Amino acid sequence: MKKNRRDFLKNAGVLGFAAAGMGGLEGCASKEAENTVPALKEWTSDPEWLKVKYGAWSGPGVPVGPGPMDDVLVKDYAPRSSVIAPETFIPKAKFPVIDIHLHHYPGQVEGTRPKEALAEWVKTMDEVGIEKSVILTVATGSQFDMMVDFYLNSHPDRFQLFCGIEKKDIDKPDFPERAVKELERCYGLGARGVGEVTDKGYGITGDPRLAPNERMHIDDVRLDPFWRKCAELRIPVNLHLADHPSSWQPPDVFQERTPIFQQFNQFGSEGVPYDKLLEYLPRLLAKHRDTTFIACHLANLGNDLQRLGKLLDAHPNFFLDISARDYEVGRQPRAAAKFLARYSDRVLFGTDMGMDKGMYQAWWRLLESADEHMPGRSWWRYYGLELPEDVLLKLYRENALKLLNWS
């Protein structure tokens, strides 16, 4: 999304609220904002607000009044828990892990040379139990060649690369042929998958300047030869379709996620909305049954595991990665553990969150322990899934080994 935040909020009709309510109460609002902001709404007596906030409890159960925390901003709120409960430290995963969702992080560390960052990363991988990392380079051409040199020539047994899709001149008649040719070239250099292919509403080029009829979504006929070639080469496609559903909800008092995630908010944008985007998926899966698709981030349906299960039941070529959806499985641990057991052949492990040792270990604690009320990346806390060994083994490595055609 290239729109600036202010335009976007204006379009969404929530500037008044965002400037005053979420960005700061009266004391903090700028002069300019003060002039344009209508009086703050008194939400605490709004029937819908009460229902969403308290459910059947109907209210806080004690008298409500102004207090010393009234100026604390939502974005700053970080309650320190008083729960005294077991804290399991799991330094290393129970089985050697294949992480199938990473990006070119060593090239993004400021003040450190990429080669040094890479060496440091491999050391961390050893410590936390990552056997292999799959880099979704999103790259083609010389960019991809650089990735081959960087990862495969230095650590061929620790990294695998996915390449991107050609995105130049998608409107030219030779596009389908060009895209296939480039895929074959990257495969020859070592690409063992394609990804991540992203469509958050503007097609796979992500260009918001394209008119709706100029965009290329994943079920576009121009991509058919490309998906067929993936099947022929037996390489999977990592697909990022839509985004978390909250991204299409207004950034107001009912917004599910915290202010820091609102940079991904697309409410009121001109892209294809969430529900429409998800309609592309079954069409694509049915049309290309021989191609393996791994929808990352639990297909952005981790909030509705029943719907996700139905999709898995209907499409044997459909797989998931769990990356960056710690906050979905961690808030519904019993349902998620059941889901991961039932579809234990269909979900792969991935992180998508950088190279930090603590991040990996937080995943092990979430998936392996029975700890409760753990800090997480959202305003809610996480609960351990305590996955059994057979489920962990498939999630951590066996499904990846089956799918990834590394020979």
Binding site for Zn ion (CB under 5 A): 196, 352
Q: What is the rounded CA–CA span in Å between residue 171 and residue 162?
A: 24
**Residue 359 Cβ vs Zn ion, minimum distance, rounded to whole Å:** 14
Burial class from Cβ neighbours inside 10 Å (0-12, 13-18, 19+) for residue 213 reads: exposed
26: left (phi over 0), alpha (psi -120 to 50) or beta: alpha
Q: Which is nearer to Zn ion, 100 or 272 (CB)?
A: 100
Q: What angle do CA 262, 268, 273 make, to 5 degrees?
A: 90
Q: Which is nearer to Zn ion, 203 or 350 (CB)?
A: 350
The runs of H, that is alpha helices, within 191-350 are 224-233, 274-287, 305-314, 326-329, 333-342
**Residue 146 Cβ vs Zn ion, minimum distance, rounded to whole Å:** 19
Q: Which is nearer to Zn ion, 199 or 352 (CB)?
A: 352
**Residue 318 Cβ vs Zn ion, minimum distance, rounded to whole Å:** 18
- 134, 160 Cβ separation under 8 angstroms: yes
- 15, 6 Cβ separation under 8 angstroms: yes
**Residue 377 Cβ vs Zn ion, minimum distance, rounded to whole Å:** 15
Q: Which residue has the tokens 């650590």?
A: 155
Q: Which is nearer to Zn ion, 103 or 178 (CB)?
A: 103
Q: Which is nearer to Zn ion, 285 or 295 (CB)?
A: 295
Phi, psi of 153 (to 5 degrees): -75, -25
Q: What is the rounded CA–CA span in Å between residue 163 and residue 71?
A: 48
**Residue 36 Cβ vs Zn ion, minimum distance, rounded to whole Å:** 37
SS3 call for 327? helix
Tokens in use for 161?
């690369």
**Residue 241 Cβ vs Zn ion, minimum distance, rounded to whole Å:** 12
Find the residue with minimal CB distance to Zn ion.
352
Q: Which is nearer to Zn ion, 197 or 284 (CB)?
A: 197
Tokens in use for 343?
């579809």
**Residue 137 Cβ vs Zn ion, minimum distance, rounded to whole Å:** 11
Q: Which is nearer to Zn ion, 166 or 196 (CB)?
A: 196
Q: What is the rounded CA–CA span in Å between residue 265 and residue 12?
A: 10
CA 198 from chain centre, in angstroms, equals 11
Q: What is the dihedral of CA 181, 140, 102, 353, to 10 degrees?
A: -140
Q: Which is nearer to Zn ion, 53 or 103 (CB)?
A: 103
Tokens in use for 141?
């051409």
**Residue 136 Cβ vs Zn ion, minimum distance, rounded to whole Å:** 6
**Residue 198 Cβ vs Zn ion, minimum distance, rounded to whole Å:** 8
DSSP character at residue 172: S
Q: What is the rounded CA–CA span in Å between residue 133 and residue 115?
A: 16
Q: Which is nearer to Zn ion, 219 or 352 (CB)?
A: 352
Q: What is the rounded CA–CA span in Å between residue 132 and residue 128?
A: 12
